[in-house]
Amino acid sequence: MKTLLFVLLLLPNFSFCQNLNIEFAVKYKNSSYRNELIIGDSITLWKDMPSEESTNVLDKAFFVKNHFNKTIYLSDFIFNKTFYVKDSLNNMKWELTNGTKIVLNQKCNAAITHFRGRKYIVYYAVNLPYSNGPWKFGGLPGLILEVKSDDDLYQFVAVKIIKNYTTSFKPANITNYKFISWDDFVSKFIITVDNTVKMVRTNADSDSKGYVKIDAPEIIYPKAQEGTGIEY
Amino acid sequence: MLPKSFILKLKKVLVLNISKDVNYIRYLIFFVLIPFTPFSQIISGKIENSLGEKVPLANIVVKDSLTAETIRDFVIAQDGQYSLLLKGNFRKIVIEVSANRYRKEVFPIENLDKKTSYVHHFVLQKDSVVELKEVIVTAKSPPFVIKEDTVKFNVAAYRDGSERKIEDVIKKLPGVEVNDKTGEITYKGKSIETVKLEGDDLFGLNYSIGTKNINVDMVEQVQAIENYSANPLLKGIEGGEKVALNLKLKKSKFDFSGNIDLGNGITEGSKSVFNSAFNILGISKKYKSFGTLSFNNVGVNNSPFDYFSSTPSVEQIKETDFLAKKIIPETIYASSLDEKRTNINKALFGSYNSVFKIGKHISVKSNLYYLHDNISSNQVFDNNNLISNQQILSSDRYDSRKVPQQYRSDFEIKSSFTERSLLEYKLTISRENLNTSTNILQNNSKKYQAILRTNDFDFKQSLLFTQRLSDKEAFQVLLTQSSNNIPQNYFLSPSLMDSLVYFVDNQQSNDKKDIVDLKSTLLGRIGKSKYTFSVGSNIEKSNFQSNLMNNDNADKLKNDFTYKKYSLNNKVSFEFNLGNFKVLPSYTLSYMQQELTNDFKNSSKNIVIFEPSFSLKYRFSSSSGILFRSNYIQKPFSEEYFFDRPIYVSNRMTIKNIPTLALQKTSLVGLIYLINNLYEQFRLNLGISYSKSEGNYLPNIFINENITQMEYFYSPKSNQNINFNFLIEKYFPILQSTVRLKSNYAIASYYNIVNNSDLRQNESHLLSSELFIKTAFDTKINFENIFTFGQTTSKSTNSQKNRNSSFNNSSKVIIKPNKQWFFITNVDYFLPNMNNTTESLFFWDTALRYSPKTKNIEFSLAGKNITNNKYFTQLSTSDFSINSFKTNLISRYFILNVTYSF
């Protein structure tokens, strides 16, 4: 806990020096985004790279991996409400496989994981000795440069690596946020989806039915996220 | 390579360092694992740097050889310690250790003994090659960000058909509202541009053909698209935050599919009722089509055109400037009651819509429509006029039969010569014939017979060229030409003009409007801001003739004028995104020349018009925001105010004007506050708007028992409107119910002259409130109740208030015992005048549906108006009258419906 506090208090003035910055092309279903992964000694940041057109300024989204206490501090949301969630770092069980691939001139090996309801195949570079990767991915003996879900809905592909990247980072003061555990987030998610579905049901004409389906990489509430979704 | 002396061979012992706090369970697991890993070797040790310091993080991988590509096993070493439990049976391995800022170290072990544990310590050397400069490696990458501005709603997965249409599902989607009369769909308060079918805009603005007729079971998903651009070349640079819906079809619905609905039943006097339809959908990669043919006499309108209440369609509202006027109105009026109770019809509607892709660059779309209806009604109007302490009573009974017929075809061709340019040509030709014959009983004594024939010929074509100049700019040229001609012929017998001399009046009217409009636009984006700059010119010409003839065929009251309007205009608009603010300023600057020419006079007016507009949006959070809007519009009047001799428009009314070429100047200010919090299941809308129109044609009304003469004259006096609206909605988990309160209060201030009075200032107040409660119990039974209260108050200076209050309560019981059976019954109670409780009405309707599990067939039985109400009366007030309007209803009927889907 002391280490955590120490790192978090340091954050407002935190500067990275000579670290690694990787830009990822991210595909979430039919949308595509750019994100950057900035790896430092004590923490890692996973950040949206807002496009010029982006007008979404309200979302003070953040995603910080704390290497010391093996925790991810992130903002997640249920519909319009933002939550600050603590999740375990490198919470994935890996199965090494034979495939190899060159990504950005780096020789990569393949590995497979099943993470929160989805199967992913990833490629990691042993020559980049960071046990890290995009989003929540990590825990392999090398930096993960490519991730694809086997249903092809989600993917992260490194498109740019900057070695010896120097930047300073001024995040919102993380100590101001109240973090809830992943398990609490999951139970809030389920209750909210159930209530919202019921509200939609009361808006409905009585003699027709429909389904609400929530798309997210993590399957938290299978009933609302798999197949046709949840009936209303 | 490290010298072999570093290897310490040890007999296999348990080297796992089990910490003190380890619990029994973990120990047990370890214990259990041993028998399953009899061949595992354990390799462990320290990882330090040359100064003897622990290396905090290092990766250890196991390979078969130095050159092997495959990684057999790995472990992440932390805090200078590692322990590797090999899960295979290896004879020979290479261990590779790498850590950030250290050189990689490799260590081979040969002749591995499966019964031996190994300890090996690594000493890592600092990487001597220190790259101080940034080293960048990039890949050829896909487009930067494509954010799909789409919200998806998955729709019922019915394989068994039903009469339920996709509109019924769209209605209940969060944020979507459907206007029952016009079929207009709004999403998040904005009128949608279109409803696409699998990404193709098949229907254009007449999208209700699709939503009213496509069966729910054909659609997998309804997608709401925000920041929609009909033109792909304008994606990302077009402002206006347009929205659209897309219907995603089920995969199995590719190729040909459809449904047949057959409904038959009986009503009063053993007459039959029917409601049948045939829909066919053809989908392939290059071709999409939707055809519908329907026939009913139960008040259902499957078309986008409303001939019962003459409510303009979405397209007619958007294109109103291009349309000529129907000066003589129809005699059938719609009540506030649902048209499915009052529209006594016999409607045939057919439409075929298709889009072909020819090669990669050309697509051709066509829409064909045919409509024929036969609408009958008996309506009674009782007017109690209270004018200068005098009571003038009048009544009219209309027995009408209206036969509308419409043929229409739309054609569109799109061609993209290059990736950056697009040429679109659109053509619409339509013809409408309306024949209404009415028997009239005026004041319970005088009988009239009236026939109104209205024809409407409409032709419109447009050519649009779009060139994307760069990622951030595009240029468009649009040329539009339209011609609309509406000849009307109204016969009234006996003559209203002079019943002693003539036995028939023949009022003719013909309005023809031609428009040519040319506009070029530059659209672009700078950072997060967008701009539009356009210049255009518009030529409008209206030719209007009217003539009253009697059976002698001699011209009596003749109007013949030409109105021409030329304008050059420049419009500039911006959309600035500044943090949580969005600022949208714009202006239109025009030079306008108007000319009005008739037999005697030629008047003209040239004017420069400046019309600014300003909107501001502020987001408090992702679920709440405020919108401020203001604009100033200067508009010339159109031809309905330019004829100066009376036109006979009904058995009691004549209209004329004192024309001038003045402008109406309207200022509008509005403020809306919105909360849409899905997480809390809470919605709040608060709105206030104020408008002031300076310069109006005010009515000078003369009323007696037999006749109403209207003369519109221009006055600079201003009419004002204030409107408040309020909506609050919350789902209460504890009650498992949603409660919604919706209120609207409107105050209008306006002027008129009645029976030679001075100019009167009048005020009308309109209040309507609705309380909605619906349960979402997990039981087989659910309830819904809607209570509606309405009040109208009208008042003029120095006269008494005219007020009427009404209410309506509608209750539903919904029973779903299982997936196959569905039962609903509802009771509607109406009290049109709260001062007279004897005039209340009860309606009772019920429906039973059965969908067998596996068949593509469904049965339903419905009873409508079971209490068999014959008439519905509603009251309204004006500043000088209280009016009662009574209309007949569709009699009690029972109908059995079978739907087969293929």
Q: Which two tokens stand for residue B51?
A: 């100064």
CA B368, B372, B378, B381 torsion: positive or negative? positive
Residue A58, pLDDT above cutoff 70:
no
CA B62, B66, B68, B69 torsion: positive or negative? positive
Residue contact B139–A215, C-beta within 8 A: no
Give the strand pairing for B42-49 and B116-119: parallel
Interface of B with A in 794-833 (CB under 8 A): 812, 814, 822, 824
Q: Report the b/e string of B706-718 with b at 16+ CB within 10 A.
A: eebbbbbbbbeeb
Do residues B40 and B34 touch, judged by C-beta distance below 8 A? Answer: no
B174 touches chain A (CB under 8 A): yes
Strands (E), B445-526: 446-470, 473-493, 505-526
* pLDDT confidence tier of residue B11, bands split at 50, 70 and 90: very low
Give me the sheet containing B185-187, strands edge to edge. Answer: B176-178, B185-187, B190-191
Find the mean pLDDT for residues B175-203: 84
Residue contact A141–B582, C-beta within 8 A: no
Taking contacts as CB-CB distances below 8 angstroms, the residues of chain B near A196 are: 678-679, 681, 731
d(CA B820, CA B446): 58
d(CA B170, CA B211): 8
Q: Which amino acid is at B159?
A: R
d(CA B264, CA B859): 12
Do residues B100 and A129 touch, judged by C-beta distance below 8 A? Answer: yes
Average pLDDT, chain B: 86
Residue contact B171–A205, C-beta within 8 A: yes
Do residues B611 and B633 touch, judged by C-beta distance below 8 A? Answer: yes
d(CA B666, CA B199): 39
Over the stretch A83-95, which tens digit does the pLDDT of each residue have?
A: 889 999 888 999 9
As a whole-number percent, the residues of chain B with pLDDT over 70 amount to 91
Residue contact A208–B148, C-beta within 8 A: no
Taking contacts as CB-CB distances below 8 angstroms, the residues of chain B near A166 are: 134
Quick check: bond before B494 cis, omega within 30?
yes
d(CA B779, CA B4): 75
d(CA B140, CA B32): 51
Residue B120, pLDDT above cutoff 70:
yes
| Total residues belonging to chain A | 232
Strands (E), B622-681: 624-636, 647-648, 653-658, 663-677
Which residues, 6+ apart, have CB-to-CB distance to A40 below 8 Å? A14, A16, A19
Q: Report the b/e string of B343-355 with b at 16+ CB within 10 A.
A: bbbebbbbbbbbb
> If you measure CA to CA, which chain A residue comes closest to B822?
A207
B179 touches chain A (CB under 8 A): no
When CB atoms are compared, the residue of B104, B582, B678 closest to A196 is B678
Residue for token pair 């209530």: A195
Q: Where are the alpha helices (DSSP H) in B486-529?
A: none
| Total residues belonging to chain B | 902
Chain A nearest C-alpha distance from B86 (Å):
13
When CB atoms are compared, the residue of A29, A140, A205 closest to B74 is A140
Residue contact A126–B59, C-beta within 8 A: yes
Query: Closest Cα partner for A85 from A9, A8, A184?
Result: A184
Q: Which two tokens stand for residue A169?
A: 């980072």
Residue contact A126–B98, C-beta within 8 A: yes
Residue B5, pLDDT above cutoff 50:
no
When CB atoms are compared, the residue of A31, A103, A210 closest to B169 is A210
Query: ipTM, 2 decimals?
Result: 0.81
d(CA B864, CA B343): 13
Residue B141, pLDDT above cutoff 50:
no
Residue B155, pLDDT above cutoff 90:
no
B153 touches chain A (CB under 8 A): yes
Interface of B with A in 555-574 (CB under 8 A): none
Please count the other Cβ atoms lying within 10 Å of the Cβ belonging to residue A221: 20
Geometric angle at alpha carbon B388, from B386 and B394, rounded to 5°: 35
B86 touches chain A (CB under 8 A): no
In sequence order, the β-bridge partners of residue B621 are: B624
Give the strand pairing for B708-732 and B653-658: parallel
Weakest mean pLDDT among B129-133, B185-189, B469-473, B828-832: B129-133
Find the mean pLDDT for residues B504-520: 96
Which residue did the predictor score with more confidence, B34 or A218? A218
Please give the helix or strand (H or E) that residue B711 lies within, else none.
Answer: strand B708-732
Residue for token pair 């993209």: B416
Residue contact A195–B579, C-beta within 8 A: no
When CB atoms are compared, the residue of A18, A32, A228 closest to B145 is A32
Residue for token pair 């809607």: B786
Question: What confidence score (pLDDT) does residue A204 get?
Answer: 57
In sequence order, the β-bridge partners of residue B530 are: B525, B575
